[in-house]
Amino acid sequence: MKIVIPDGDTLALPDMRKQIEHEFSRFGQVICNGTTKPEEVAEKIADADIVLCNKTPITREVIEKCKNLKYIGLFATGYNNIDIQSATEKNITVCNAGEYSTYGVVQHTFALLLDLAGNMPKYHNAVKSGEWERSPVFSYFPYPVHELYGKIFGIIGYGSIGKRVAKVAEAFGMQVIINTRTIPENCEYQFVSQEEIFKHADIISIHCPLTEQTENLICQKTLALMKPTAYLINTARGGIVCEQDLANALNQDKLAGAGVDVLAQEPMSPDTPLKTAKNCLITPHIAWSAVETRDRLIKIVVNNLECYLNGKPVNQVN
């Protein structure tokens, strides 16, 4: 049985590929490629029985050329890079990895927020440049620092990540309000309309999927509803935010700050408007990438494959 991984570099540094290969070697021969260009996918996986991938596009055209392919395992929760209909027509089982990144994303959400509320990047740079050394008093605080206690924390999207974010926000002493597509039963937090969450929240944290309904949800119209003292955090998907509108709001002091781990184009385009926007923290899509998170992800994908080979597939999406 031949197992091909077309994008191993999305999961680990090159010197860690051997570890990934070892995890799956008990199931068959493993070929782990670092990266694969879209035009090379069909060639790289042509004779594979099993493909394990993260973001590599497996299109109908590719599937038609893969005569042995029986199983696609995703190192991801999302599966929009797979032509599910074509896979189903060819009796190819597709399984994803759900909820592996919850703890890492929650942690990163508050890392971004705490940096913004505490003006940490500015203070770090000030200390490194010697400003504190030249201070006439013991405590050097030219940049405002804000408590989270008592603030209204708005969560858009109330899945597994949104629920855990709510718990942490509550632990900081914040009032949690939520907006989600389906009103959850027996929810301990206040459900509000979309307009209300933008109007009332001091912090808005996005945890919903990217859909036709949520694409460019954060735009000039919704940003205009927010308090000029509010923060926006996005660890979900870049396409949920209209980046030019967010940059305009930040540069015009209509929003206090933003922390984003995802952009509409990744890797980041050199001319993204958020790159030079005021009070905008950008991290390179790393909320999911903690060592422990990736170990958990690999274990889920191994288990998915094992269950499939035992005739009892789990986390199947088609």
Q: Known catalytic residues?
A: 237, 266, 285
Q: How far apart are CA 249 and CA 245, in angstroms?
A: 6
* Helix (H/G/I), strand (E/B), else coil: 254: coil
Both tokens of 289, joined, read: 């990438």
Q: Which residues contact residue 234 at a Cβ distance below 8 angstroms, ignoring those fewer than 6 apart? A: 205, 206, 218, 240, 241, 258, 259, 260, 261, 262
Partnered with residue 95 across adjacent β-strands are 73, 316
> Do 73 and 305 touch, CB atoms closer than 8 A?
yes
Partnered with residue 74 across adjacent β-strands are 53
Q: How far apart are CA 64 and CA 313, in angstroms?
A: 23
How big is the chain by its Cα radius of gyration, in Å?
Answer: 22
> Do 236 and 260 touch, CB atoms closer than 8 A?
no
